[in-house]
């Protein structure tokens, strides 16, 4: 009989959305949507040229709005609907495919493409429309302070209080489609493992965090995650 887990944490990265047609960050050519990630996803780049960064995310928003969840996201829905345990999803992804698949308890630690934050008053609001450096905050009415609510290099992550609560008590940690090179998310497996969790990695290839996982399942998440879910539900 399969082991029964009480607190499952699933960490997801760009690889879970690859089969929905979305680009991962560290592809063979080193580019991400034809840009170096450092040119658009650092707080310095945003401060230097906010409209360049706004334009980049304005162009990306319609693609992410149209994207559809794939069998990997739907496998999580199946697990959450049928498994007798708390299941939390810590996602590094800014797309909303977990929500579209009706996944519950989703924590966007790197932010969301459809949210804007005002750097003046902290107000966060949702939109799928374009944003520019001239727009006013709907709350404080100050112009020029809006930023995509996306965590750039050098910025603190979101929901870290929740992460700090979840990792020490999780008994199964599943990592799906992340290269494990961006911190602090790359270190989450270590915290879970030291707290006694079983650790499983699903990826297309071996990662540098490989040694921290008890089990590796190589292949596309759209096939491997549904299989793992069926195993857990057996
Ligand atoms: C498939 C698949 C399929 C493909 N099926 N698999 C400790 C040590 C060293 C450095 C640091 C450290 N702590 C902090 C840092 C600095 C920095 C950092 O980590 N730098 C490293 C690069 C060295 N981290 C930060 O700055 C973070 N902030 C922070 O720590 O705050 C505190 C602090 C502040 C100031 C100083 C010091 C500390 C913030 C990190 C923000 C990350 N932001 C980005 C961009 C967001 C914008 C956007 O999304 O548009 O988030 S970077 C980018 O990488 C994005 C991703 O969420 C993130 C992770 O990428 P991910 O998801 O792993 O994607 P890939 O492409 O790398 O991998 C995809 C994987 O999928 C591959 O393995 C494929 O094989 C696989 N795959 N198809 C299964 N079908």
CA of 150 to the centre of ligand 1 (A): 12
Low-confidence ranges of the chain (pLDDT < 50): none
Neighbours of 41 (CB within 10 A): 24
| Residues 19, 224 contacting (CB under 8 angstroms) | no
* Ligand 1 proximity of 207 Cβ (cutoff 6 Å): yes
| Residues 61, 113 contacting (CB under 8 angstroms) | yes
Q: Which atom of ligand 1 is found nearest the CA of 37?
A: 52
Q: Which atom of ligand 1 is found nearest the CA of 221?
A: 5
What was the pLDDT predicted at 31? Answer: 57
CA of 90 to the centre of ligand 1 (A): 13
* Atom 58 (ligand 1) nearest CA: 182
What was the pLDDT predicted at 189? Answer: 98
What was the pLDDT predicted at 33? Answer: 63
What was the pLDDT predicted at 28? Answer: 63
Could you tell me whether strands 111-118 and 86-91 are parallel, antiparallel, or unpaired per DSSP bridges? Answer: unpaired
What was the pLDDT predicted at 39? Answer: 77
Q: What is the pTM of this model?
A: 0.96
Give the residue numbers annotated as catalytic, written as ranges: 110
* Atom 24 (ligand 1) nearest CA: 183
| Residues 101, 69 contacting (CB under 8 angstroms) | yes
- What is the edge-to-edge ordering of all strands in the sheet holding 146-150? 124-126, 111-118, 146-150
């Amino acid at each position: 009989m399969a082991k029964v887990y009480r607190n499952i944490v699933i960490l997801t990265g760009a690889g879970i959305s690859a089969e929905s047609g979305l680009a991962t960050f560290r592809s063979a050519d080193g580019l991400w949507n034809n840009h170096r990630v450092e040119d658009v996803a650092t707080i310095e780049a945003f401060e230097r040229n906010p409209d360049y960064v706004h334009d980049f995310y304005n162009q990306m928003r319609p693609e992410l709005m149209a994207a559809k969840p794939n069998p990997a996201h739907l496998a999580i829905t199946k697990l959450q609907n049928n498994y007798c345990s708390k299941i939390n999803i810590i996602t590094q992804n800014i797309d909303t495919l977990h929500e579209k698949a009706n996944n519950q308890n989703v924590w966007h630690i790197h932010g969301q493409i459809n949210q804007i934050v005002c750097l003046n008053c902290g107000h966060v609001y949702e939109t799928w429309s374009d944003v520019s450096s001239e727009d006013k905050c709907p709350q404080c009415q100050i112009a020029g302070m809006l930023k995509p609510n996306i965590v750039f290099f050098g910025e603190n992550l979101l929901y870290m209080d929740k992460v700090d609560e979840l990792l020490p008590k999780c008994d199964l940690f599943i990592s799906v489609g992340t290269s494990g090179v961006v911190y602090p998310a790359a270190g989450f497996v270590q915290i879970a493992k030291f707290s006694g969790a079983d650790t499983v990695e699903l990826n297309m290839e071996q990662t540098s965090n490989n040694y921290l996982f008890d089990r590796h399942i190589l292949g596309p998440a759209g096939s491997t995650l549904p299989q793992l879910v069926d195993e857990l539900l057996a």
